[in-house]
Amino acid sequence: MSSSIISLLALAGKQITIYLGTFTLVVGVIGGLLNVIVFLSLKTFRESSSAFYLIIMSIVNIGQLLTGLLSRIMTSGFGIDWTLTSLFYCKFRYYCFNICAEMSMTCICLAIIDQYLATSSRAQWRQWCNMKIAYRLVLLFVLIWIIHNIPFMICYDHVISITTGQVICINMNNIFQQYTIYGTTLIIGKVIPICITFVFGLLAYHNVQQLGYRTIPLVRRELDKQLTVMILVLIVFAFFTNMPFVIVYILSAMPGLTQDPVVSAQIQFANLVTTYLVYIYFAVSILKLNI
């Protein structure tokens, strides 16, 4: 009975990977390219620092889908694991994926903070919302995440599995592995961005409600409302697609829950489903920017 449940979950996971994964990848990449074109083609958005953060977010989301989701589809869906055939890709995939993931969350945080400042009643705060500062912040955080993720290029390597005798691509440093699980994935990748976007999202929403009482040009007022609503929708969507992953990810890190084969298979299946929820966020968030 237990073996049939495990086999059924494995089959369902493979089908989800092939069909849902492929659909998410195609929609996300095409939507991302269209989003960049739309934002760059409109002068009002080209001159907005918040829109600039969203453009960068769209670009790194495409990178995340190509390095993370595409490789997962090929490995789990078709049995083609590029990390096993190339040592460089074994190291580069996790390195590039984490840079894109962290930069994506950074951009949505910067965008909502920027909108909070842009809609503030204090003129000195609104002065912080300009393209010059936006360029510098993006460059700064790109450099930070590039340096921060260098251990992925060092610690990941090809080793021979004791159980299967096959080459596998794994993290060779146990300390860095623990930091990756709790520090990079949970704290930096999920908890901190969710807290920042939640707090500044509420503050920006409050500011937008007060825009009608200020002497602001109509075009500027409508642009601020549009961008703020757009980012708030992304934040809400991010919360409901990322939180299930956080919960399952914590459960999968508990050794006591993975000793039973059936429970372990169920957690792995739940991890797969919630992982695709996160990928759907990165793909659909791109489309929401075009709407």
Distance CA 201, CA 238 (A): 12
Q: Residue 289: inside a domain, yes or no?
A: no
Contact between 97 and 67 under an 8 Å Cβ cutoff? The reply is yes
| Helix residue spans in 73-217 (DSSP H) | 78, 82-85, 87-118, 123-126, 131-148, 150-155, 174-178, 192-209
Residues 6 or more apart whose Cβ sits within 8 Å of residue 267: 248, 251, 252, 257, 258
All residue ranges of the chain with pLDDT < 50 are 218, 291
Q: What are residue 262's phi and psi, to 5 degrees? A: -70, -45
Determine the pLDDT at residue 155: 92
| Tally of structural domains, the chain | 1
| pLDDT in the model for residue 210 | 72
| Residue 240 forms part of a structural domain | yes
* Residue 38 domain flag: yes
Are 73 and 17 a contacting pair, CB within 8 Å? yes
Flag whether 68 is in a domain.
yes
Q: Quick one: tokens of 31?
A: 């939507």
Q: Is residue 291 part of a domain?
A: no
pLDDT at site 152: 93
What pLDDT is stored for residue 104 in this prediction?
92
CATH number at residue 229: 1.20.1070.10
- Which residue segment(s) compose the domain that 81 sits in? 1-283
Structure tokens at 233: 């929708």
Name the residue type at position 283: A
What does the alpha-carbon distance between residue 68 and residue 92 come to, in Å, rounded to a whole number? 11
- 247 beta partners: none
The type of residue at 83 is T
Both tokens of 259, joined, read 């000793």
Query: What is the distance between the alpha carbons of residues 189 and 208, in angstroms, rounded to a whole number?
Result: 28
Q: Looking at residue 1, what is its pLDDT?
A: 55
In a domain, 40, yes or no: yes
Asked whether residue 290 is domain-assigned, the answer is no
Q: How far apart are CA 199 and CA 201, in angstroms?
A: 5
Show contacts of 37-41: CB within 8 Å, 24+ apart. Answer: 38/289, 38/290, 39/289
Q: Helix/strand/coil (H, E, C) string of 95-107?
A: HHHHHHHHHHHHH
The residues facing 169 across adjacent strands are 158
pTM for this one? 0.86
3-state secondary structure of 149: coil
- The closest alpha carbon to 282, from 110, 101, 149, belongs to 101
CA distances in angstroms from 210 to 73, 119, 127, 177, 215, listed in the order given: 47, 9, 19, 47, 11
Query: What digits encode the pLDDT tens for the residues 219-248?
Result: 555 666 677 777 778 788 888 888 888 888
